[in-house]
Chains A and B, each alone.
Chain A
Amino acid sequence: MSKRVWNHPEVPAGESATQVWRSPGELEGNPLFQDWLEREFPEGGELTKEEQELSRRNFVKLMGASSALAGLGLASCRRPETYIVPYSNAPEWIIPGKALFYATAMPRPTGAVPLLVTSYEGRPTKVEPNTDHPESSGTDAFTQASILNLYDPFRSKEVLRQGKKATRAELDAALKDFSAQAGKVGFVFGEDDSPTRTRLIGELKKKFPGAKAYRYETLESHASEEVLGDGVKMVVDFAKADRILSFDCDFTSLDQVGPVKPFFDRRQGGSHDGGKLYGHDLDPKKMNRLYQVEAAYSLTGGVADHRLRTAPSQIIKVAAAIATALEVSGANTKLEGDDAKWVEECANDLKAHAGKSVILAGNRHSKELHELVAAMNAKLGNVGGDKPASLVQTGNKGLAGLTELAADLESGAIENLVLLTPSNPVYDAPADFNFKELLGKAKTSIHWGLRTDATAYAATWHVPAAHYLESWGDAKTAKGTHALLQPLILPLYDGIGELDLLSAFLNGGELKLGDEQTPSAGYDEVRKTFEMAAGKDVSAWSKALQFGFIEASYPEVALPQVAPKPGASLEAPAPTKDSLDVIFAADASVWDGRYIDNSWLQEAPDPISKLTWDNVAYISPKTADSLGISKELIELEPINNVAGIDVKNAPRPEIGEGEKARAYMIDVTLGEKTLKIPVLVSFGLAENTIVLPVGYGQAADDGRSAAIKFDSSKPTVGFVGLNTGFNVYPLRTSDGSFVQGGAKVGTNTGRYNVSLTQEHHAMYGRALAREISTAPVESHGHEVPFKDQVKKVSKQGMDSHMPPNKSIYKPNDTEGKPLISDDRHQWAMAIDLNTCMGCNACLVACQSENNIPVVGKEQVAKGREMHWIRMDRYYAAAPDGNEDNPEMIPQPVACVQCELAPCETVCPVNATVHNEEGLNVMAYNRCIGTRYCANNCPYKARRFNFFDYNKRNPLVEKNLYKGPWGEKQVGDSRHLQRNPNVSVRMRGVMEKCTYCVQRLENAKIKKKQITRKKSLGMASTEVKVSAEDLRIKVDSVKTACQDACPAGAITFGNKLDGNKSAMVRAKESARNYDLLNYIGTLPRTSYLARVKNPNPTMPDAKSVGRATINIH
C-alpha cells in the first residue's frame, strides 16, 4: 500500500509562489525525485538481485558450517572465559571508564584552533573546542575529523630512502651526516605560526650560515602580504563590524580572518547582548549586514544579505567600482546596468558606517584586489585601534615563498632541502614549477609528513611525522594568543614531531624522542620558549598547560600607504562560453588534498553541492544550456548506451535510483592541458565560469585519465583515497594562481557515477527551512513589516492552511499515567537557522561522538549513508527574484524526538520507545530490523545498518557482499577512536540521534553522588535530596553537535530549567517553529527562522529573505 500523502494546496491562480528546491531534479519536477520522496528506502529498501542471491547462499553455507560445529562440541553452553587485566602500576588520574580532558590546539594557517581533547585510558577519542580560550569559536569539520587522521591505518609508519623502506638506524646516521654538512639548506615550513619554530629558525640560520627558510601551503597565497607587509595579516573583530563587504572571502569557513562566533552573534541582532543568549528580541537595527561578491556559492555567500554573482575575473571590476564610489584615489571604474545600482547603494551603506565596517578580499585573489580593499578600508577608517579590522605582525616573517625556492634550487643557492610543509608540493605545486624535477636538483632532501604522499617518494628521505595530538608544540591563534600543544598519546607509529626534528638538526642530528618517562626534545624547546615569554615559574607552566594557552597578542602595525593600481587587471575580458573562467577552489572535504585518506570528510556531503567521495566541475544551469549540455545535466537519467565512457572499470549501472546520478563528463581545456572531469550544475554560480575543486585524483587504478596512476609499490593513498575524484592541479599554473581565464569545454566524453545526497531523505511539506526579512516584504498583495513577519513565522507554509492537528498517538500509558513523567529533566533542543551556515562541523562531530560508520561511495549512492545529522540545503527564489541567483538555506535535521512519535507505535518489539525525559530512545540490542519505524518517520531521521559497516570494510569493492568471507576491519587502528560509552551497532539495526544520551546519563549519574556528599558529617538517614539537587546545572551538558558548532546555532537543555536555560529562551522567541508541525508529532527539537537584513535601497532588496514567505 502506498503511503497516505498529504496533497499540498495549489497556488491560487494569478499568484506566484516562492520556489524552493534541493536539486535540479526537484526544480524540474523530475519523476525520479518524486520516487526518492515517497519511499523511505529508495534503493536500499530491497536488496538487489545480486545482494539477495549472495546473502541466501551465504546463509545456507553459514548454517551448514555452524550446525556442524555445534555437533562437534557444545562449545557455546558456557560463555567464554574473559579476563580483567588491571594496570600493574596504575597511572595517576586514570579511572577506568572515566574520561580525562586535556587542552591543546590544532595548528592551522588561519590561526590555531584551541581544543579540549577527550581521552579514555590514554586513548584520545574526541576533539572539542576549548571554551576557556578567549578566541574559542567552535570547530569546523576539518578539526573534528583530524582525530581520525591520528588513527589512520595508512599513516606513514616507515622511514623511506629514495622511496624504499629504510631503518631507523639508517635515518639516525643520515640525520647526523646531514647536520654535519648541510650548509646551504632550505627549510620549507607550513603557513601556521609557531613561536618555538620561529625561534628555532633563528637558531638554525645561525648554525647553518647558508640556510634559508621558506613557507608553502598550496591554498595560502601571499598576495595580501605583498600589500600589507611581510608576515602582516588583517584580523577582524566581527563584534565591531556593522557592515561587511566581502570579495569572494569565505570568512565563515574556509578563509577565516578571525574568530567567527562574534559575526554570528551580531546576526542575532542584540538578542545575545550581555552574554545572555536569547535574552532579548532580535532588533534589526543591531544586526550586521553582509554584502558578498562572489562567483560560486560559498557558505559565507549563503548567509549574506546581498550576494552579487560575478565571474571571478570580473570581481576586481566590482571592487574598483565600489572604490570609485568611495572616492578612493586611483580608482576610476563605473559599472553598467543593475550592478551599477548595487555598487552605488552598497558604497553608500559603507560610507554611512565608516569606521564600523570592514571590507575583505579572498585569500587567493590577486594583489591588485588586495590593494583596492586595503585602500577602501583605509578610506573608511576601518583599521587599527578600536576599529573592526586590525593589522598584525605574525611570526611568519622573513620566510620566502615557492617562487624563491624554485629560483634558489635552480641557481644552487640551496643545495639541501628539508620539507616540513603539510602540503604536498610534488602533487599540488603549480604545474609549471615541475616540482619533482626541482626536488631532484637538491643533493639531499628530507620530507617530513603524516602521509607517504607523492613528495615522500620523490624526496631522498621520508620521515614519518607525529600527529599534532602526539607531539609537543605551540601555535598562535588568529589574534596571537600563545596556545600550547601537548601530546595525548605517545606516537603510535614512532612518528617524529616537527620540533623534535628541528632540534635534532641543531644538536648534530641527535634525535631525542619521548617515551613513558621522558618527554621528547619538542617539550624542552616549547618549555624554553614559554619561559622566555612567561618566566620560569613552574605553576605558570602548569596553569598554561591546564588551560592550553597564555595570554598574548600579535603586535599591531599601521596600515601602509596603498595606492591601488588595478590597471591591466581591469581589462580582463568577461568570460564567454568559448573562453570560460576557471576557479581552482579549496575543497570542503579534502582541503588541498591532505585529507584524502580521511573517510569522515570524504563521506561528509559537500556543504554546497552535496557530493561525496569525489570532486567534479560545476557550471551554472544557463552555461550548461549555452554549452548544449543542459539536458544531460539536469535530467540525470540513466542512459543504456555507455559507449564512449572513458572510465574503464567504473562501477557499472545497476537497477535503481542510486546509479541514476551519473554525471556527464566534459573536457576542460586550459592552455595546452586538457582534463576529463564530470560536471554538475550548481545554482548561484556566475555564468561562463567553471569551478574545479582541488585535492582529488591522487591515485587511481581504474584507468581514469585525470588522476595519477596508482603504483602499488609506492602507495600514495590508502583505500579511502583510492579512485576518488580527479586531479585538477595539472591545469593550474603559477601566473594565473587560482583564477584563470580562457578555458574551453568539450562535451560528450562519457558518464561517471557520482554519489550525491541532495535528494536523499527528502521530507514532504513546505516551508521547512523558514526565513524572514527585516525589510517589509510583499505578500499576497500587501506589505508585511518585520514585526508581523516574525509573528507569522509559525504560520508559514502548510501551517497557514491546517487546523490544529490532533495526534492519534497517545501521551499516556495503558493505566493513564503520562509517559513523559520525569520531574528533573525534560530535554529539548533549538536550532537557529539564523546562524547555521551548513558547514558540516556538527555532522562530523556526531560521527565522532556516536561511533557512526562510513559506508563508502556505492552505498551512499543507494541512500544508505549513516550520518545521524542530515545537512539539508535548499535553494529558494522568490517570485520576483532571480532563479539564477537563488538564496541558499541550510538546515540540519536529526531525530527531532517527537513527543508523540510515529516510529514508536509501529515497532513490533518495543526497540524504540520514549523515556521519561522526553527522549525517543533506541535499544539497539532489541532491534530486529523491520524498518517499520523508518518508514513511519516523517522527518526521515532514521538510519539502517544494511551491512555490518563497522566490522566489514565497506571501502573495498564488493566487500560487503562477501559476508563472512569479506575483509574485516576489526582491530583496525581506527577502532581506537571509538567512544566507549556508545554501542557499536551491527548489521540489521536501526539507529538515530538520541541527543547524545550517553552524555546526559553521565551528567545525571555524576549528580547522584550528592547523596553521599550530603551524608558527610551527618547520618545519611537524615539527608534530604530534592529534585533540584539531582537536576544537572543549567545548560551544563552539551551535545556533540552543539559543542562543535562554530556559530552557536544549537542550544540544548532542560525544559524544566525554565528561562534560565538558553534553549527555553530560544524556544520562547517568536521565530521559533516546529518542523512539520501540521502532523502533530510535537517534536522536542524546534527551529528558529532565519532573518535576512537587506538594505532597502538595494535593487534586489525585495527578493531577499523571502525564501518561504510566499509559500502556500
Chain B
Amino acid sequence: MANFFPRWSNFTPLKLAICLGAIGFGVTFVFAVYSGPQSQRVGYQPTQPIPYSHEIHVNQLGMDCRYCHSFVEHGSQANVPSANVCWNCHGPNKVQSDNPKLSPLYAAMGIDQATGAEMTPVPLEWVRVHKAPDYVYFNHSAHVNRGVSCQSCHGDVNNMKVVHHEESLTMGWCLDCHRNPEEHLRPIEEVTNLDYDVEEYLKANPIKDAEGNAIETQTEFGAFLKAHWNVKPKESCATCHR
C-alpha cells in the first residue's frame, strides 16, 4: 500500500503546534495586557457636566484640596463638593457668574442662569472617575492622616485640566504600597501639596536618622516616618473587605 501521507506532511504537526502555540500565546498576552484594569481604567477621562479644571483652581489659584473635598480627613469618602460650595465663589454676581458653562450649577441651586428665575433644583451629576468595587471599603481618612498623599493614588491632579484615572487601583497595586509604604509616606503637612518634592523638602528640612546620618532619599525618609508613626499597613482581607 502506497504511503497515504506525502513526505512533506511529516512536519505538519510540529508546524501546527508552533503556530497554535504562538496564537495562543499572542491571545493570552494581548488579553493580559489590554483587558486588565491598568489598560481599561488608566486614562479614563469622561466628560463632566461642568468642565471643571483642577489646573486652574489648584495651580493658578492655589486652592487646597480640602476646600472642596472637605471630609477627606474625617470620613471614608473624599466627598465631591456639594453645589453650595461652588456657589461660594460662583454665585450670582461673583466669579464667572454669567459663564454658560456654569448653568448646571445654577440649575442645582434652583436658579435659571439665563433669566435668574427660580426653578426646581436639578442636582449635579458628576461622572465618577475613580471607583472601588462595592466590596472594598476604602477609607480616605485612614490614609491622608497617616502621610499618604492624594497624589499617590490620583496622580498630579493639579495639572489636570480634565481629571483622568491615573493609577490602576487594582488590589495588587494597593498591596504594593501596603507592603512597602516607605515609597509613599510624606510629612502630614505635605499630603495635599501636589508640588511636593522629597529631595527639596529634605534639603529645606534636614532630618537625621537614628544613627545621625542625614536622610536623603524617599525610601529612607519613608522608613523614618513609618517607624516614627508606627505605620503598619495591614494585608489581611478584613482591612478592606467586610
Nearest first, the 4 A-B pairs at minimum CB distance are A915-B236, A1020-B188, A921-B238, A90-B82
- Cβ of B131: which chain A residues have Cβ within 8 Å of it? 79, 82
Q: How large is the interface on A (under 10, 10 to 19, 20 to 34, 35 or more residues)?
A: 35 or more
The smallest C-beta distance from B185 to any residue of chain A, in angstroms, reads 10
Q: Please indicate which of the listed interface residues B71, B85, B234, B242 has the most CB atoms of chain A within 10 Å of its own CB.
A: B242
Known: A82-B131, A88-B84, A1008-B146. 9 other contacts (CB 8 A): A77-B40, A85-B124, A87-B83, A96-B79, A98-B71, A913-B237, A915-B238, A921-B236, A982-B242
Cβ–Cβ contact B73 & A86, under 8 A: no
Cβ–Cβ contact A83 & B77, under 8 A: no
Interface residues of A in 907-932 (CB under 8 A from B): 911, 913-916, 919, 921-926
Q: How far apart sit A96 and B207, CA to CA, in the bound complex (Å)? A: 38
Report A1009-1029 CB contacts with B as 1/0, cut-off 8 Å.
Answer: 111100100011101111101
Cβ–Cβ contact B147 & A1020, under 8 A: yes
- Cβ of A1020: which chain B residues have Cβ within 8 Å of it? 147, 187-189
- Cβ of B123: which chain A residues have Cβ within 8 Å of it? 85-88
Q: How far apart sit A87 and B71, CA to CA, in the bound complex (Å)? A: 14
Q: Please list 16 pairs of residues, one from A and one from B, whose beta carbons are closer than 8 Å in the complex, sorted by A's number.
A: A77-B40, A81-B128, A82-B128, A84-B80, A84-B127, A87-B82, A88-B109, A96-B71, A98-B71, A926-B237, A1009-B73, A1010-B145, A1012-B145, A1015-B189, A1021-B207, A1025-B230
Number of A-B residue pairs with CB-CB distance less than 8 Å in the complex they form: 161
- Cβ of B229: which chain A residues have Cβ within 8 Å of it? 1011, 1023-1025
| In the complex, B121 has a CB within 8 A of chain A | yes
Q: How far apart sit A916 and B239, CA to CA, in the bound complex (Å)? A: 10
| In the complex, A997 has a CB within 8 A of chain B | yes
The smallest C-beta distance from A872 to any residue of chain B, in angstroms, reads 27
| In the complex, B155 has a CB within 8 A of chain A | no
Which single member of B126, B128, B141 contacts A1008 (CB below 8 Å)? B141
Which single member of A79, A97, A997, A1005 contacts B238 (CB below 8 Å)? A997
Which single member of B76, B79, B124, B242 contacts A994 (CB below 8 Å)? B242
Which single member of A86, A911, A1030 contacts B79 (CB below 8 Å)? A86
Q: Please indicate which of the listed interface residues A822, A915, A1012, A1023 has the most CB atoms of chain B within 10 Å of its own CB.
A: A1012
Cβ–Cβ contact A90 & B189, under 8 A: no
Which single member of A83, A87, A97, A1010 contacts B125 (CB below 8 Å)? A83
Segment with Cβ contacts to A, from B13-21, B132-140, B175-183: B132-140
Chain A interface (Cβ < 8 Å from any Cβ of B) = 77-79, 81-90, 95-98, 822, 911, 913-916, 919, 921-926, 981-983, 994, 997-998, 1001, 1005, 1008-1012, 1015, 1019-1021, 1023-1027, 1029-1030
| In the complex, B36 has a CB within 8 A of chain A | no
Cβ–Cβ contact A916 & B236, under 8 A: yes
| In the complex, B161 has a CB within 8 A of chain A | no
| In the complex, B74 has a CB within 8 A of chain A | yes
Q: How far apart sit A919 and B236, CA to CA, in the bound complex (Å)? A: 10
Report B218-242 CB contacts with A as 1/0, cut-off 8 Å.
Answer: 0000001100111010101111011
Q: Please indicate which of the listed interface residues A86, A923, A1009 has the most CB atoms of chain B within 10 Å of its own CB.
A: A86
Chain A residue nearest to B225 in the complex (CB):
A1021
The smallest C-beta distance from A633 to any residue of chain B, in angstroms, reads 44
Interface residues of B in 66-96 (CB under 8 A from A): 71, 73-77, 79-85
| In the complex, B108 has a CB within 8 A of chain A | yes
Task: Evaluate whether A1021 and B84 lie within 8 angstroms (CB atoms) in the complex, with A913-B236, A921-B237, A1011-B229 already known.
Answer: no
Cβ–Cβ contact A981 & B83, under 8 A: no
Task: Evaluate whether A1001 and B82 lie within 8 angstroms (CB atoms) in the complex, with A95-B74, A1009-B145, A1020-B189 already known.
Answer: no
Task: Evaluate whether A88 and B135 lie within 8 angstroms (CB atoms) in the complex, with A81-B46, A98-B74, A983-B242 already known.
Answer: no
Q: How far apart sit A994 and B137, CA to CA, in the bound complex (Å)? A: 15
Task: Evaluate whether A90 and B242 lie within 8 angstroms (CB atoms) in the complex, with A85-B126, A95-B75, A1012-B145 already known.
Answer: no
- Cβ of A81: which chain B residues have Cβ within 8 Å of it? 46, 127-128
Which single member of B79, B109, B137, B189 contacts A998 (CB below 8 Å)? B137
Chain A residue nearest to B186 in the complex (CB):
A1020
Cβ–Cβ contact B128 & A86, under 8 A: no
Cβ–Cβ contact A1030 & B236, under 8 A: no
The smallest C-beta distance from A981 to any residue of chain B, in angstroms, reads 6
The smallest C-beta distance from B155 to any residue of chain A, in angstroms, reads 18
Chain B residue nearest to A983 in the complex (CB):
B135
The smallest C-beta distance from A970 to any residue of chain B, in angstroms, reads 13
- Cβ of B63: which chain A residues have Cβ within 8 Å of it? none
Report B97-115 CB contacts with A as 1/0, cut-off 8 Å.
Answer: 0000000000011100000
Cβ–Cβ contact A88 & B108, under 8 A: yes
Task: Evaluate whether A923 and B80 lie within 8 angstroms (CB atoms) in the complex, with A83-B126, A88-B110, A1015-B188 already known.
Answer: no
Q: How far apart sit A1008 and B144, CA to CA, in the bound complex (Å)? A: 10
Q: How far apart sit A89 and B80, CA to CA, in the bound complex (Å)? A: 13
Q: How far apart sit A562 and B75, CA to CA, in the bound complex (Å)? A: 62
Cβ–Cβ contact B76 & A98, under 8 A: yes
Chain A residue nearest to B107 in the complex (CB):
A88
Chain A residue nearest to B228 in the complex (CB):
A1024
- Cβ of A83: which chain B residues have Cβ within 8 Å of it? 125-128
Cβ–Cβ contact A916 & B205, under 8 A: no
Cβ–Cβ contact A994 & B127, under 8 A: no
Which single member of A96, A983, A997 contacts B75 (CB below 8 Å)? A96
Which single member of A85, A90, A1011 contacts B188 (CB below 8 Å)? A1011
- Cβ of B73: which chain A residues have Cβ within 8 Å of it? 1009, 1012
- Cβ of B27: which chain A residues have Cβ within 8 Å of it? none
Which single member of B74, B82, B84, B205 contacts A1019 (CB below 8 Å)? B205
Chain A residue nearest to B125 in the complex (CB):
A83
Q: How far apart sit A390 and B186, CA to CA, in the bound complex (Å)? A: 64
- Cβ of B75: which chain A residues have Cβ within 8 Å of it? 95-98
| In the complex, B142 has a CB within 8 A of chain A | yes
- Cβ of A923: which chain B residues have Cβ within 8 Å of it? 237-238, 241
The smallest C-beta distance from A102 to any residue of chain B, in angstroms, reads 18
